[in-house]
Amino acid sequence: MGSMVGLILQSLIFMSIGVWHLCSLFSSYVKSPRDYSARAWYPVSCGSWLPSRLKHSELYMMLLFIPLAIFYELGISTHFQPLLVDGGAIPGSSILGFEHVTTLFMFWLFALLVLLIETTIALPLPTESSFLFASLAFTLEWMSINHETVENAGLEKQCKSLLAFIVAICTFSSGMLVMRPKAFLVDMVLCMGLILQGTWRFQMALSLYVEGFIPLGCRSMQEDLTRRVSAGYGTRLSSTLCDIQEARIRAIDLMNLAFNCHIIVVVLFSMMALVIIAKVQGYRRINNSNGYDMTLTSDVDSESKQLKSLSNMTKLSFGRLH
């Protein structure tokens, strides 16, 4: 999380997984609300001409790309010298890099354990136990963000504090799904949290490293950070620096406003996705008070077909009476 490229890559990963899970859970729910149950991963539909193992593509991609992210994290945070000693001690940047690596490894371990649970009998655990491992991974991520300290307690600290808030929501939602796997709204909050993590990391990449998006009165310290890393001194300095107190307060207020906008956009996107999926696939809502089902389908002629069927039944009944 210490470079623009790293933040953008993380943003793409979280947004992709979040959108995939959100659309999959909506599709699963509208098909049968009564039988709905949350999943920590969603299979890819494979046709008859594709191997059935491809349905685990999401888990395979995590097992493949997370080690690459670990290698990248070690390279960026330690300049490919993780054990370089500065004055008799390992630099703080290396320790932070190792902490990020443990978080990434926990997500990799999550994917491995879920794959073993789903495909083998080596781990006889219930399906909802997958959310326990996800909750642990998010907990490590939350702790890693909170442990990061910067000399400039301004723009960057505020961005990371808001990110930690999103991760805390994902942690809590995953923990709730361990106990209540049929809680649709909790699962939806988790997916929205993943998407929000992705969009906010992208916002951080722009606001902390791209000159055109850095708030007025603040400047990027990227060149100084690069020189410090190359010299083995670590990256304890903030990636941005605000000249005066007024500029720092203004930058923090702008980040809070941007965060509110991100939440609104993610909520609107989620509701639009639900409306479209329910319209395309049809939605069967269970009315518990009256004991009947209400079905909304995308077929334009469904209502006319029902009326014709009712008319035919009426004619048949009158014919029998006469």
pLDDT in tens, 217-240: 888 776 555 555 444 444 445 668
Average pLDDT estimate for 294-321:
50
**Residue 322 located in a structural domain:** no
Q: Is the pLDDT of residue 134 over 70?
A: yes
| Token output for 263 | 């939440």
pLDDT, greater one: 213 or 270: 270
Residue 169 lies in a domain: yes
Percent over 70 (pLDDT), the chain? 71
Residue 297 inside a domain? The answer is no
Task: Kindly report, residue by residue over 161-195, the tens digit of the pLDDT.
Answer: 999 999 999 999 999 999 999 999 999 999 999 99
- 140 within domain boundaries: yes
> How many domains, in total, are found in the chain?
1
pLDDT higher than threshold 50 for residue 301: no
Instruction: Provide the sign of the torsion angle of the four alpha carbons 243, 97, 131, 55, taken in this order.
Output: positive
Position 317 in a domain: no
Over residues 290-305, mean pLDDT = 46
Who wins on pLDDT, 264 or 69? 264
Answer for the pair 134, 40: CB distance below 8 angstroms, yes or no. yes
Of the two residues 156 and 285, the one the predictor is more confident about is 156
Q: Is residue 170 part of a domain?
A: yes
Higher local confidence (pLDDT), 311 or 296: 311
Spatial CA neighbour of 188 closest among 59, 10, 15, 24 = 24
Residue keyed to tokens 């979040």: 18
* Banded model confidence at residue 289, pLDDT cuts 50, 70, 90: very low
Residue 98 binned pLDDT confidence (cut-offs 50, 70, 90): confident
CA–CA distance, 127 with 131 (Å, rounded to integer): 8
Q: CA–CA separation, 100 vs 295, rounded Å?
A: 48
Q: Which residue has the higher pLDDT, 299 or 243?
A: 243
The residue with greater pLDDT, 147 or 8, is 8
Q: Confirm whether 106 is domain-assigned.
A: yes
Tell if the pTM clears 0.85, that is, is over it. Answer: no
Could you tell me if residue 192 is inside a domain?
yes
Q: What's the confidence (pLDDT) of residue 1? A: 53
Q: How far apart are CA 281 and CA 275, in angstroms?
A: 10
Q: Is 79 left (phi over 0), alpha (psi -120 to 50) or beta?
A: left
Q: Is the pLDDT of residue 262 over 90?
A: yes
Q: Which pLDDT band, with edges at 50, 70 and 90, does 80 fall under?
A: low
Which residue would you say has higher pLDDT here, 70 or 258?
258
Domain that holds residue 79: 4-281
Rounded to the nearest integer, the mean pLDDT of the chain is: 79
